[in-house]
Chains A and B, each alone.
Chain A
Amino acid sequence: MTIASSSHINSSLHLCLNDLRLAGVVACLPDHQVQNIQLTDQFSIDDIRQISRSTGVESRYLADKPVTTGDLCLQAAKKLLHYLEWPLESVDGVILMTQTPNQLLPATACRIQHQLGLTKATFAFDVNLGCSAYPYGLWLAGSLFSSGVKRLLLLAGDTISHIVDPTDRATALLFGDAGTATALEKGESDTWHFLLGTDGSGADCLQAPNGGHLSMQGPSVFEFTLREVPPLIERLNSILGNQHDCYLFHQANRFMIEHLRRKCSIPPEIFPINISKYGNTSSASIPLLMASNLSNSYLKPSARVALVGYGVGLSWAAASVAFESDIAFQTMHFSDLI
């Protein structure tokens, strides 16, 4: 796989948004937790240990069919709306970032609009992105506020376990499922910065044909990540003139993200990692990391947080977001009562 080379410094688009507020994030996990070490029907114990040592994944939550991406995101959205006490009629739209929608058509976000009981005066659509989905979604959703939107739900979720080949060493022990909901509204925050990029010459590195299994060329993806992410972080820090208070990286693989952390000179105490418990949850991984690992006490008021996604596409995005101190972060399980 040959990926076109690109300039390290200028290979991302820099865009800015103002006057936004991130009100809360809820992540919904399937009920079924699987320990990798139990999967001895498909793999030897030695294989599982070696793979887990490298990827860092010890357990994952998997959505038993027929639980879908939409189901997980719906539960997260219900819990979030309930917690924030947002009237249904105050929500102007729903955007779902996913690579595993419930069906080819219609857009899963349309079903969710109805299931949540939102009014018909609501926009709803899906966006097909994975590892980079969340910072892309924040940029896209945030951009809509200048057109008059006052509140919206940004959903990000995947059930990659449904498209994994259970005998494939590279993917079968890596991916977990989750659905998340993020509440955005008009606010008075400092500027949010976004760096966005795409290199479709590497599209074959991570792909799933219609109706087929996911395939991943791990070394090519890692090579791409090492080439693009460190300059991306350097540029994001230079915009701010400083390091961020916290770095939330897409939880791709522990070996990879630890290497990136060291290369980017980010201290471990401001670089949470949760892949051991949840696996790589694709589009959900960054909001799941927020919901599971951030608490208001962890972040100082007006903290600057870097959100960094990279992978399938090939696509990458980094966001520098100003967090206020009263953001709601919660995790839940699919069957939890709301």
Chain B
Amino acid sequence: MKPEKISDFLFALADVLELDPEALTPTTSFSDIDWDSLAIISTIALADEHFGVMIPGQELSECKGIPDVLDLVKSELPS
């Protein structure tokens, strides 16, 4: 995944979650973020929009931070 695509995705996700634009980075942990069903739905939609992949909601709910989310996106991308 190109770094600029990742940063676009994280920027859009921060906007949906009403966080500062720079609040999410590829290493952000969810310890300070309300990772609830709204956040998960937003992430499913944005991953679909930005990367054209469908991330399973159940697996997203188990993510501990952005690294886990990006791993899920990578695993769904065609190799």
Q: Name A's B-contacting residues (CB within 8 A).
A: 1-2, 50-51, 53-54, 169-170, 217-220, 222-223, 226-227, 255-256, 259, 262-263
Contact = CB atoms under 8 A, between A and B. Distances in A.
A36 to B, nearest CB: 14
A219 B49 contact: no
Nearest to A170: B37
B18 A218 contact: no
18 contacts: A1-B57, A51-B38, A169-B36, A217-B57, A218-B37, A219-B37, A219-B44, A219-B58, A222-B41, A222-B44, A223-B44, A223-B56, A227-B54, A255-B42, A259-B45, A259-B49, A262-B49, A263-B48
Interface string B30-50: 000000111011101100110
A54 B58 contact: no
A219 B57 contact: yes
Contacts of A217: 37, 57
B29 interface: no
A169 B77 CA distance: 33
A221 to B, nearest CB: 9
A50 B19 CA distance: 11
Contacts of B48: 226, 259, 263
Nearest to A223: B57
B61 interface: yes
B41 A219 contact: yes
Contacts of B38: 50-51, 54, 218
A262 B36 CA distance: 24
Contacts of B45: 222, 226, 255-256, 259
